[in-house]
Structure formats: structure tokens, C-alpha cells
Amino acid sequence: MEIQVEHYLIISTIMLCAGIYGFLVRKNTLAMLISVELILNAADINFAVFNKFLFPNQLEGHFFTLFAIGIVAAETAVAIAIIINIYRNIQTLNVDKMDKLKH
Amino acid sequence: MDITFQNVVFLIVAIFITVFSVLTVTTNKIMRSATYLLFVLFGTAAIYFLLGYTFLGAVQIMVYAGGIIILYVFSILLTNSDENINTGIKRGKILPGLISALAGAGIIFFIIFTHNFMPSASANILQEVDMKTIGFTLVGGGKHQYILPFEVLGVLLLACIIGGVLIARKR
Amino acid sequence: MEYTLIILLLPAIMFLFLGLAGHKLKHKVAGLFGTISLGLVTCLSYFTAWEYFTSPRVNGVFEKIIPFNFEWLSFSEALHVDIGILLDPISVMMLIVISTVSLMVHIYSLGYMHGEKGFQRYYAFLSLFTFSMLGLVVATNIFQTYIFWELVGVSSYLLIGFYYTKPSAIAASKKAFIVTRFADLGFLIGILVLSFYSQTFSFVELMNGSSDAILTGAATQTFLGIGVLSWALGLMFIGAAGKSAMFPLHIWLPDAMEGPTPVSALIHAATMVVAGVYLVARMFYLYIGFAPGVLEIIAIVGAFTSLFSAIIACVQTDIKRVLAFSTISQIGFMMVALGVCTGMDSHEGLGYMASMFHLFTHAMFKALLFLGAGSIIHAVHSNEMKDMGGLRKFMPITHITFLIACLAIAGIPPFSGFFSKDEILAAAFKFNPAMGWTMTVIAGLTAFYMFRLYFNIFWGKEAKHHHTPHESPLTITIPLIILAIVTIFGGFIPFGHFITSDGLLYNIHLDPQVAITSVVVAVLSIAIATIFYKNKEQKIPAMLGEKLSGLHKAATKKFYIDEVYQFITHRIIFACISTPIAWFDRHIVDGFMNLMASSTQSLSYSIRKFQSGHVQQYAFVFLLGIIFIIGLILLVI
């Protein structure tokens, strides 16, 4: 059996939906951020797979993934800085308690 | 139907990723969650290796496993308190979360299986993208070359360092 | 003669300077700044007058000079509002009057207002007033006149309300402002109507005959049976009547005496209140040419006001109020003089010259009277006649100068008032003997009440004083002496050489019949006043007061005009119109707005739950939306 595009996409879909589920149900903000990492990873896999199977002579998807990894690193750094700051202010990471900004 | 070595490896990686993805979001302990994420990231790297993007796989391991996961672990330990370690999952949210995730998955699977992908004939799974090509493409200034995004990403990372320090520092 | 711009700018700069930086200066320094700058203005005004009146005549008249003009607002090609300076005989004369009286008041105030709180503010307002009054008289167009007209009103308001901690002063300032502002509405409408038909604001264009064709065309149009130009000029006269305190808009002037006395001398005797007369004189060409009917109304209103206020002046006991009513009466004289003119040439327009002449002499001797009254009030700390009496021994300079002014206003030769009043009477007789005799009687009344005032202050029974009154300091007496000298010799100015209705040379000659009659009447009145009031016991007036108690009481109450206004405004306008409107505003208009606001608020309250602040909830809704949209797309494809 030849491994096809679909097989890879199934893996990435499972990863994506796990991320979505985690984002929706986790209470801890850091855990939500971890779920976001899963979603982003799923997207990265898709880029690489599409590049490899559909346009093997080019490197667009490859580099997109590369830059996405860099940007994810940046995003994570800032998000964690914010979360730590929030924790310092309200002594909790429970996302249900972070609703002061609606006022 | 012959089972090649590649197929076996792919199968193992797929199961590995699936299991740990689900575990990442279902475990109650945040530290375990981070650890499972690390495994998922390793799995992703393995997929890159399988695709022949060895450089990408190496970057994945270095940046994610070496950088981001460490950052997570540190911040988990920094925000360590009884309440936060075992925050777990809120019961009332599980059902809507599960339904929407499965609905999303259903739609995506539907699209994947109904869409007719046309793989290029020249796709050779095992051919590795060589380092020289990547290097020239990354810092070249011509068409299909990426010096500008590369520079911009550098600036973005600098901004994030400064912003992160600024936000997180004690007042 | 571009330097005339400095005359206008210097007081304005001084106002800004004293108003902004005044509180950092010492009293004396601020006062000196104001006085010195005004001294400069006065010098320049005199120089302007000298240069203007010595320049050669063209075709027998003095040319109108516009040394400075600046187009400010342009409505159309022809219609634009300018700010500029127009020099012609009457504006130059007004420059002299205003700057002289203002300088005297500035010097006087150094002594009179000494040690008052807000001394710098006082000088700033004086500068503002001087600036606006000068701007008014040199205006090149009606609109500039209007602008400065309002500025004059504002500065008058500020100065009347100078003692803003005193409720009566606040009420008086508000009254003055509202009444004159109400009259100014008529002025504004008049301006708009006139400029609509004439297509110009400029005085020069209106007067030199170039717009005559248009105006003659417009004069044929009527509104409610009266020509539109008569409407325009009549409405302008309403504005003039408001500023010049003509009946029935005179009610603000007596109350305006709440302000400091020098202010009364400057604004409410010599300069601002004659602005109305000046306006009518300014538009005289149009009145004669296109609305002679309005001139007759002016004459009648003037005569009535004059008589009316002369009667009231006979019974008032507050010396400043007596002077206020006397001012109204004298302005009535000027209005009559303008109103009795029938043509532009020197004989038919004798009243024009007489009016301007009287304006000039009246400004001097009325300022003198007010400043003298101020000096007396300064000494005895009261406005009431009963607190005075026998002051001639204590205040010789004030006494003599006051007497000179009284003789001048009574019309005794050779004092200035005699000459100007005589011209007015002659003009009135020429118009209509009945008018002439009325004015003669009023002149007699004037002499009577002035000497009643004089004897009550300086003769009669001495009141008990807390401390012996003493003569005022030099800063107060010097302006008195200067003004007294002007009053003595002012009548000998050959006024007809400078200002006449057609601008040509005119030699004033006294009509012996009129002159003798008026002098006899004046002397008789003075004699009666002497008999009545010179003695310590004033039996005859008391007896007369009892016999004519109805008239006496009515006159004391100023013929209940204030009460009538009170009734009209409170009982009719406020109760029948304003209250329902206020109710409508509060309940219907506001109610509608409140309903909208409260319904929006309640709606917002009901939907604010959407904005829960829970990120996961948002994400959930977001996801559902995406799934829905993708599903939709799939179905469509």
C-alpha cells in the first residue's frame, strides 16, 4: 500500500481536532496554549505534506512551515509573558476568572 | 499488498501522534500535558523525516522540543500552585467541546475523502532536500527565494523578546 | 493718516495687557498704564482732528477719508463686511469727545477707585470700552458699527456689574444688557433689510449718492403698507433707542447707576448713550431721503422721552438717578433736533448741526456733573440728597465746577449748553411752534431740577456726617477743572464751520427771540428752584408734594414703567408663553429623548450576556460559525 496524501491528512486532522477540543474545555490558560500548539502543528504538517506530494519541485510549503515554526516560537514567548503577568495580578490561571475586561 | 518498512514506520508514527494528541488534551495534570505535547512534537518531526524534509524535522525538534517546551515547563513551574496544577477539565464543557470537535473532524474528513488529490508523478518520498538548496533559497533575493521574510522574522523575534521582557517584568 | 489705526489698537492692546497680566501689576502701575495709553490716544485724536479740519475742503465740504480698510467677511461680490476707519466730520468730533471724556475718567478713577478690589480689572474694562466706542464711531460700514455696538454693550454690562458681589449691581447689569440687546435685534434686522435692498454695507457708498438709484427703486416696495426702507430705518431707530434710552426702552439707564460713578460719567452720560444719536446722524442722509416719516416719529419719541424723564428727574432723591434722568432728557433733545430736520441743506438741516453740537457740549458738562457727583459721593459715602446739604463750605472746587455745569445744562449764557440748546430750540420752532414751546418748557424743567439738585447738595440743611467732608484729592479735582473750562468756553466753538448736514460752511447766528425766551424761562426756573430749595426748611415743595400727591408718587415711582415691564414679562410672557414652552420642552422633547435613551439601555441590558468575558465561549461560537459556513459552502457546491 502506497502511503498517500490522505493518510497524512488524517493524522493532522486528528491532531487539529484534539487541539480544538482542548482549547474549548481546558480551564488552565497554559493548557489552552498547549492546545493551540497542537492546532498549529497540524497546519504545519499539512503544508509540508502538500508541498511534498503535490508540488515536489518547489519548496514553498517547506519554507512556510519553517517560518511558521519561528512565528509560533515568538507567539508562545509573548503569550507566556502575558499569562505570567496575569498570574502575578490575579493569582490564578483559571480562564473562567479572566473576565474583568468585559466591564 | 506488500508491507514495506516505510509503511510500518508511518503506521507507528501515526498511532503515536494520535494517542499522544488525545492524551495531551485529556489529562488532568498540566505537567503531563506538556510532556505529551513534547511527544506529539517528536512525532511531527518524524513525519517530516518521513517526507524527506530532514532540515525541517531538525528545526522542529530544536525549536519546539528544545525551546518552546522548556518555556512551557518553566512557566508551569512559575505558576505552580495547588489550584493550577490540577485544574483538570470542567464537566459542563466536555460535551459541547466534544461535539464541535467531532463535527469539525467530520467535515474535514468528508472533504479529504471526497476531494480528488492529484499527486505529482515525480514525487519521490525518499529524496532528501539538500542543505545547499535550502540555504540558497532561504537567504536568496530572487524569485521563490526568502530573504525578506527571513529578515522580517528576525525583526519579529526581536520585537517578541523585547515585548515579552517588558510584559513579564516586575513593576 | 494711517496713524489713526493706533487710536483704535492702543486701547485694545491695553485691554488685553491689563486683562491678562493686570493682576500681577500693582494698582498704581496698572492705572498709570491705562491712563498713559489713553493720553496717547487723546493726543493722536486731537492731532487727527487738527489735521483733518485744516485740510482743504473739496467743493466746500470736508472729504471723507478712509485711511485703513480691511475686507473681512465677504458674502458676495458687492456685499462684504469690512473693518476699517472712516474719518468724516462727525466721526472726528466723536473721537475728540470720547478720548477727552475717557481720559478725564481715567485720571479721575485713579483717585476715585483708589484701593478698590479689582482695580486692574476696572482699567482693563475701561480700555475695552474705549476701544469699542472708538471702533463704533470710526466704522466704515453698518456691520462694523453693529459689531462694535455689541462690544460697547458688553463692556457696559461688565462695568455696571463691576461690584459683582452686590445683588443690585448684578440685576442692573443684566437688565441693561437684556434691554439693549433686545433693541439691538431691531437694529440687526434693520441692517439686514437695508443691505438686502442696497447691496452694500458701506456708509460711503450709501451716502455719496451712488446707491440712490437702487434705493429709490426699493423705496417703492412696501411691506404692510409701509415702505421697506422706512421699515429698515425704523428698525434701526429701535436699536438706537435702546442704546440711547428712549422711551419705552429707557428703563435700564437709571438702574445702570449701580456701576462706579466714573463709569456712569463715561458710558451712561457722555459716550455710549449718545451712540443712538450718532447712529441716526450717521444714517441721516437716508432718513431724510427715504424715510422722512421715521424722522417725525423720532422727533415725537424724543420729545416725549425728554418731557417724561424731566418730570421724573424733579422728584428723585438719589443724585445719580437725577442725573441719569437728566441724561435721558438731554438725549431726547438731541433726538428731537435730528427729527425736526426736513432737508439736507444748512437751514432745513439746522437740527443736525444742533444735535451734534449738543452732543458735544452735553458730553462735557454731563461728564462734569457725574464726576462732580462722584466727588460728592466720595466725600459723604451716600447717594441720597438727605445725607448732603451745605457742602459748599467743605468742597469749594467741586461746588464751583458743579455750579458751572448746572448753569450750562440750564442754558444760561455764556456757558456751552446755552448755545447748543438754543440751536435745538430754533430748529424745533422752525419745524413746528408747538414742538418749540414743548422743548422750551422742558428746558425750563431742566433748569429747575438741576438747581433743585444743586441747592439740595450744596445749600440747605446740613446733614449729620460721620466725619467732616473734605475736598477730594487732585486726581479727582483736576478732571473737574479741565471739564469746567471746556464747559465755559465750548459754546464759542464755531461748530457750523465743522459739522453741518450738507457739509458746507454755516455760520451760527442766534435767533434773538428764541434765545431771549429760553434764557428767561431758564432764569425763572432757577429762581423758582432757589425759592423752593435754598432755605433750610423746604416748605413749599413739601406742600406741593402733598397737594399733587398722585402725580408726585407716580413720578417718584418713575410712572410705573418698571412695574409695567415686570407685569408684561412675568405675568404675560413668562406665565402664558414661557411656562408652557418649558413644560413642553421638559416633558415632550426631553421625554422623547429619555424614552429613546432608556429603551436603548434596557435593550443593552438584555443583550449584555453575550459579552460574558469567557474566551472559551467566544471560541465555541466562533467554531460553530465556521462549521456552519463550511457546511453551507459544501451544500452549495
Q: Which helix (H) or strand (E) element contains residue C136?
A: helix C119-137
Q: Which of C274, C345, C287, C363 is nearest to C496 (CA)?
A: C345
Residue-wise DSSP of B124-139: -TTPPPPHHHHHHHHH
Query: Which grid cell is C299?
Result: 422727533
pLDDT level of residue B15 (50, 70, 90 thresholds): very high
* The pLDDT of residue A19: 92
Q: Which residue has the cell 474535514?
A: B108
The CA distance from C439 to C201, in Å, is 35
ipTM: 0.90
Q: Which residue of chain C comes nearest to A94, CA vs CA?
A: C614
Amino acid at C203: F
Q: Where are the domains of chain B?
A: 5-127, 130-171
Mutate to test the interface with A, among B87, B125, B134, B148 (most CBs of A within 10 A): B87
Q: Which residue of chain A comes nearest to C620, CA vs CA?
A: A24
Cβ separation B103–C634 shorter than 8 A: no
| pLDDT tens, position by position, C575-630 | 788 888 888 888 899 999 999 999 999 998 888 877 777 888 888 889 889 989 99
pLDDT-wise least confident of B44-58, C45-59, C380-394: C380-394
User: Which residues of chain C are within 8 Å of residue B106 when distances are taken between CB atoms?
Assistant: none
Q: Which of A64, C474, C123, C464 is nearest to B137 (CA)?
A: A64
State yes or no: pLDDT of B155 exceeds 90: yes
| pLDDT tens, position by position, C52-98 | 888 887 777 788 888 888 888 777 777 788 888 888 888 888 888 88
Cβ separation B97–C631 shorter than 8 A: no
The CA distance from C112 to C135, in Å, is 27
Candidates A6, A35, A37; nearest CB to B112: A6
Is A23 at the interface with chain C, CB within 8 A?
yes
The C-alpha angle with vertex C366 and arms to C361 and C368, in degrees rounded to 5, equals: 100
Q: Tell me what percent of the residues of chain C surpass a pLDDT of 90.
A: 5
Domains of chain A as residue ranges with CATH? 27-95 (1.10.287.3510)
Quick one: chain A helix, strand, coil %, rounded to 5?
Answer: 80, 5, 15
- Give B65's DSSP letter: I
| 3-class secondary structure, C34 | helix
State yes or no: pLDDT of B84 exceeds 60: no
Crossing angle for the helix pair A29-54 and A60-90, to the nearest 10 degrees: 180
State yes or no: pLDDT of C498 exceeds 70: yes
Residues of B with CB under 8 A from a CB of C: 93, 96-97, 100, 103-104, 107, 110-111
| Cis bond before residue B96 (omega within 30° of 0) | no
What is the distance in angstroms between the CA of the first residue and the CA of the last residue of chain C? 89
The CA distance from C62 to C348, in Å, is 20
Non-local CB neighbours of B10 within 8 Å, separated by 6+ positions: A3, A7, B50
| Cis bond before residue C414 (omega within 30° of 0) | yes
The CA distance from C62 to C563, in Å, is 49
* The pLDDT of residue C468: 72
Fold of B5-127: Four Helix Bundle (Hemerythrin (Met), subunit A) (1.20.120)
* The pLDDT of residue C603: 92
What is the distance in angstroms between the CA of the first residue and the CA of the last residue of chain A? 58
Q: Do C619 and C612 form a contact (C-beta atoms < 8 A)?
A: no
* The pLDDT of residue C601: 92
Residues of C with CB under 8 A from a CB of B: 616, 620, 623-624, 626-627, 630-631, 634
Classify the phi-psi angles of C209: left when phi > 0, otherwise alpha if psi is within -120 to 50, otherwise beta: left
The CA distance from B10 to C434, in Å, is 129
| pLDDT tens, position by position, C462-493 | 776 666 777 778 888 888 888 888 888 887 87
Classify the phi-psi angles of A10: left when phi > 0, otherwise alpha if psi is within -120 to 50, otherwise beta: alpha
* The pLDDT of residue C425: 86
- Mean pLDDT over all residues of chain B? 84
Average pLDDT over residues B140-153: 87
Q: Which of A40, A37, A51 is nearest to A5 (CA)?
A: A51
Q: Do C25 and C104 form a contact (C-beta atoms < 8 A)?
A: no
* The pLDDT of residue A39: 93
* The pLDDT of residue A36: 92
